Structure 1
Amino acid sequence: MTIAFDNSYARLPERFFHRQPPVAVTAPKLIAVNRALARRLGLDPDALAAPEWIEVFAGNRVPEGAAPLAQAYAGHQFGGWVPQLGDGRALLLGEIVAPDGARFDLALKGSGPTPFSRRGDGRAGLGPVLREYILSEAMAALGVPTTRALAAVTTCEPVWRETPLPGAVLARVAASHIRVGTFQYFAAREDAEALAVLADHVIARHYPGAAGPLGLLEAVTEAQARLIARWMSLGFIHGVMNTDNMAVSGETIDYGPCAFMDEYDPAKVFSSIDQFGRYAYGNQPKIALWNLAQFASCLLPLMGEEGPAIEAATEAINRFADLYQAEWLRLFRAKIGISVAAEEDAALITGLLSRMAEGRADFTRTFRGLAEGTAAAEFADPASFAAWEAEWRKRLAAEADPEAVMAAANPACIPRNHRVEEAIRAATAGDFAPFHRLNAVLARPFDRRAEAEGYDAAPGPEELVTRTFCGT
């Protein structure tokens, strides 16, 4: 099988990237091929499991038509400015145009060092590769814009972190890998020509209806408002919302120390490196706005006179709050069975969330339990829920089929942290069966079925995962 690559990013000026092949590994072995995604891309999933494509996914072979390169970008990491980051352990192999005309990047993560590695080894451990595979595919099944996992392979080589770990490589698919940090890289160098080329490229690729740099800013702001509201509606915590981890396409990118909440807590943090809670669950909307402000500052040189440009950019990103709130309300209304909006809905939703925080209620099980009659059992004090439930039942009287609305909005299964860790531990010991079972369950997260039994359970005290790690 050959892929008809059409590598538009590789046709941009050379200062946008560094061209290099991936670094070969010893003896790659296939972990998984995402057959559904392969078909979406117009590829033969059986062919992708053949030895020659295992070699491609490991970085031992560059397919015909590919143009491997490491992308340059900068970024704010936990608020601190880093003028050069870039792909330190990843390579963009090329771009695939699917049968319907949609364009996708195909990249390798863990493919060896690049000039952007900053003394790193450029490799990925098996655990982080499996975590990203599980989480990104679960997010796709939940309807969240996201990068995807096409395949994963082991390398049969150790990766050294605190201890030696088994190595792996992930084949990642994205609408693109262009980040806010990509714009920051050129803005910091006062390279207005590169900024203009990049803005035109992003508009043509992602937002063809956008009118110039201001239109691009407005479009990215809208996409991020929808994305963050979706995260919040599912209890998802990204964990490392640096500007180099914000894709201008509006996709979730870079699944490092990410996690889904068990008990609802707006201040919840899992990331081991987020010591001060900058990227806590409840902070994600305002961090997205902060990142958009950095994006806006990059576009100012392209927007004409300084005063009017600043005013227009400020107005554009200030729309984020209203866009986000409208989408948040729409999503949470559905989660409690409401399809026809009313003024009192916001208070009803926040009332439930307040009780969930006080009662240490499980986020996913509480919302799913509204339709199934089991929500009260999630509260330390069921009486607190009962008081809210009475008002909620009155509100539902105006709804035609609230149970169907809730069933479509609330998953039964999410990638619970203890289940993800269980799969990683087993795979590290050579048993990939739990990984494959978990992916099969998460591919249909809204369905109740026999093979998913037990996967909706909250962790017991001995199963709690309180910290997650980025893997670098």
Structure 2
Amino acid sequence: MTDKKAMIDIGWNLDNSYAQLPETFFTKQAPTPVRAPELIVLNAPLAASLGLNAKALQSPEGAAVLAGNEMPEGALPLAQAYAGHQFGYFTMLGDGRAVLLGEQLTPQGKRVDIQLKGSGRTPYSRGGDGRAALGPMLREYIISEAMHALGIPTTRSLAVVSTGQPVTREKDLPGAILTRIAASHLRVGTFQYVRGAGTTEDLRILADYTLQRHYPDAEPGAGANRYLVLLQEVIKRQAALIAKWQLVGFIHGVMNTDNMTLSGETIDYGPCAFMDTFDPNTVFSSIDSQGRYAYVNQPYIAAWNLARLAEALLPLLHEEEEQAVKLAEGAIGAFTDLYHEQWLAGMRAKLGIFHMEEEDEALIEDLLKMMKNHQADYTNTFRALTFNKLEDTPLQGTPEFASWYERWQARLGRQQESWDDARELMRSSNPAVIPRNHRVEEALEAAEQEGDYSVMQELLDVLAEPYAHSPEQAEYAVVPKGSRPYRTYCGT
């Protein structure tokens, strides 16, 4: 067994509030030990922010904890139960390959989940092996940390360890475990599960827990329904989140209700990717043959998912079902305007516009239409506008772009802020780099096939400051010509 002092030196400060909820919500489940855990990558800055000792985590004792071979002091491992609409079809689910060790209480007073993903079978594995391959775990590490650097609410990745044993998919692949950090793993699907498998009192307990954990300041006024407030607050956060996705061209790929958090964080980086050439109908996921989760559909799917949350909350919204439905519909009806306001404000910032004018939306939509028609790169077009390097976009030289550019310049001229102010706003709103698909694949291939993690580390370093616009980032903004349509896979 691991020396107890070595475990304490890591800095664990675990609590287990979720384990105090009704046992219907979870199953106590320890991770399945692995053969030869080895630390592949550690997020030292994140470790420090959690109050953890990065050096201790890099030790064999630390790797043993990150692999699930040893339990840190204070851990009460469990697998959470939840349900979900997957591609529109309702299914009872749960953590089929993940275990929640507990909740770390950080030096900043935050409470965050510590979860091991790929840690072995659970009662919710549905015939699966409960394991994960190295490639998908490294992929989640790269994309989630890139999202964090872009300022988008997301789960974080603390570490990836290899297990020393293969997982069998189409072929044998090296196994790995990801340590995921989240504000919580409460999902729309958690409420769907409790509505179906629990009592109304169970549902109330879950809603109260969610309010206390994520919305402690959202207390309703006199006579207001606190569960309606919960629904409204989740809707606000999701509207803001999806707008941020759209503004950077991020496509989640599998927006099932079990992949939508109550905290408003992005979760479960399976077949996700960032769009290169702008096309609203872009789909990367190999399993999304109908385009349900295409880029253009993400706001609509978010509203659909939130409607499922509202359905689950109906018994708490009002004792009379008809009145409960009216309250739910009113709350869901606000999503579209909330999202649109966030998206429009973000697009204005991307164009250096500080204040609202009625024709702004037409200016934005006309630019996007030109980008689609001329197959312009989404990120690099805004980058070219930011630095007035119009030769870097295929829009340059076209009559419609010349006309649009004049309109844009006139619009900037009508605001009090200077061009320098506008460009600084654009610099901070338009990333120089995103996790380009070919760069991510290059890093994963080097790691999986050659055991070379330097390519991934260089990519992570570049992605850590996406708004720096440094000379070193220039080569990571290049999109190879003639690349084939990109396809992603869920990694399970």
Is the shorter-chain TM-score for this pair beyond 0.5, marking a shared fold?
yes
Residue matched to 1:365: 380
Cα deviation, residue 142, structure 1: 0.2
Q: Which amino acid aligns with 1:140?
A: H
Residue matched to 1:146: 154
Match of residue 327, structure 1, among 331, 342, 345: 342
Give 3-state SS (helix, strand or coil) of 1:101's partner.
coil
Match of residue 385, structure 1, among 380, 401, 411: 401
Cα deviation, residue 190, structure 1: 5.4
User: In the TM superposition, what are the counterparts of 1:161-200 in structure 2 within 5 Å?
Assistant: 161-189=169-197, 191-200=199-208
Task: State yes or no: 1:21 paired with 2:35.
Answer: no
1:370-420 CA distances to partner (integer Å, 9 max, x unpaired)? Answer: 111224532266313222111111111123211000000000000001100
Give, in whole Å, the separation in 2 of the partners of 1:113 and 1:146: 25
Task: State yes or no: 1:265 paired with 2:279.
Answer: yes
Gaps of 5+ in 2: 1-8, 221-225
Cα RMSD for the two superposed structures: 1.2
Match of residue 446, structure 2, among 421, 426, 442: 426
Q: Which amino acid aligns with 1:392?
A: W
Task: State yes or no: 1:103 paired with 2:135.
Answer: no
Give 3-state SS (helix, strand or coil) of 1:266's partner.
coil
Residue matched to 1:435: 456
Match of residue 327, structure 2, among 308, 312, 316: 312
With over 3 angstroms needed to count, the CA separation of the structure-2 counterparts of 1:128 and 1:347, relative to structure 1, is: same
Residue matched to 1:291: 305
1:132-165 CA distances to partner (integer Å, 9 max, x unpaired)? Answer: 0000000000000000001111112111111111
Residue matched to 2:142: 134
Cα deviation, residue 206, structure 1: 0.2
1:157-214 CA distances to partner (integer Å, 9 max, x unpaired)? Answer: 1111111111111000000001000000011235212111100000000011143210
Cα deviation, residue 364, structure 1: 0.4
Match of residue 402, structure 1, among 403, 422, 433: 422
Gaps of 5+ in 1: none
1:52-71 CA distances to partner (integer Å, 9 max, x unpaired)? Answer: 11111111111110111000
Residue matched to 1:446: 467
Residue matched to 2:369: 354
Give, in whole Å, the separation in 2 of the partners of 1:167 and 1:181: 28
- More off after superposition, 217-226 vs 333-342: 333-342
Q: Please say if residues 418 and 465 of structure 1, whose CA atoms lie closer than 8 Å, have aligned partners that are also in contact.
A: no
- More off after superposition, 198-207 vs 389-398: 389-398
Give, in whole Å, the separation in 1 of the partners of 2:261 and 2:177: 21
1:120-139 CA distances to partner (integer Å, 9 max, x unpaired)? Answer: 01111111001100000000
Q: Please say if residues 396 and 402 of structure 2, whose CA atoms lie closer than 8 Å, have aligned partners that are also in contact.
A: no
Cα deviation, residue 80, structure 1: 0.5
Give, in whole Å, the separation in 2 of the partners of 1:388 and 1:118: 54
Q: Which amino acid aligns with 1:445?
A: P
Q: Please say if residues 13 and 106 of structure 2, whose CA atoms lie closer than 8 Å, have aligned partners that are also in contact.
A: no
Give, in whole Å, the separation in 2 of the partners of 1:413 and 1:173: 24
Q: Please say if residues 12 and 51 of structure 2, whose CA atoms lie closer than 8 Å, have aligned partners that are also in contact.
A: no
Counting matched residue pairs gives 470
Give 3-state SS (helix, strand or coil) of 2:477's partner.
coil
Give, in whole Å, the separation in 1 of the partners of 2:99 and 2:82: 13
Q: Please say if residues 210 and 216 of structure 1, whose CA atoms lie closer than 8 Å, have aligned partners that are also in contact.
A: no
Match of residue 222, structure 1, among 232, 236, 243: 236
- More off after superposition, 169-178 vs 308-317: 308-317
Give the ranges of 4+ consecutive aligned residues of structure 1 lying more than 4 Å apart after TM superposition.
none
Give, in whole Å, the separation in 2 of the partners of 1:259 and 1:32: 21
> TM-score by structure 1 length?
0.98
Give, in whole Å, the separation in 2 of the partners of 1:380 and 1:372: 15
Q: Please say if residues 115 and 180 of structure 2, whose CA atoms lie closer than 8 Å, have aligned partners that are also in contact.
A: yes
1:281-339 CA distances to partner (integer Å, 9 max, x unpaired)? Answer: 00000000000000000000112221221111110111001100100011000001111
Residue matched to 1:86: 94
Q: What percent of counterpart residues are identical?
A: 56
Cα deviation, residue 432, structure 1: 0.7
Q: Which amino acid aligns with 1:352?
A: L
Task: State yes or no: 1:50 paired with 2:59.
Answer: yes
1:61-91 CA distances to partner (integer Å, 9 max, x unpaired)? Answer: 1111011100000000000111x21000111
Give, in whole Å, the separation in 2 of the partners of 1:210 and 1:181: 24
Give, in whole Å, the separation in 2 of the partners of 1:334 and 1:459: 28
Cα deviation, residue 465, structure 1: 5.2
Give 3-state SS (helix, strand or coil) of 1:227's partner.
helix
Give, in whole Å, the separation in 2 of the partners of 1:56 and 1:382: 58
1:92-135 CA distances to partner (integer Å, 9 max, x unpaired)? Answer: 11101111211100100000110100000111111100110000
Residue matched to 2:4: none
Task: State yes or no: 1:256 paired with 2:270.
Answer: yes
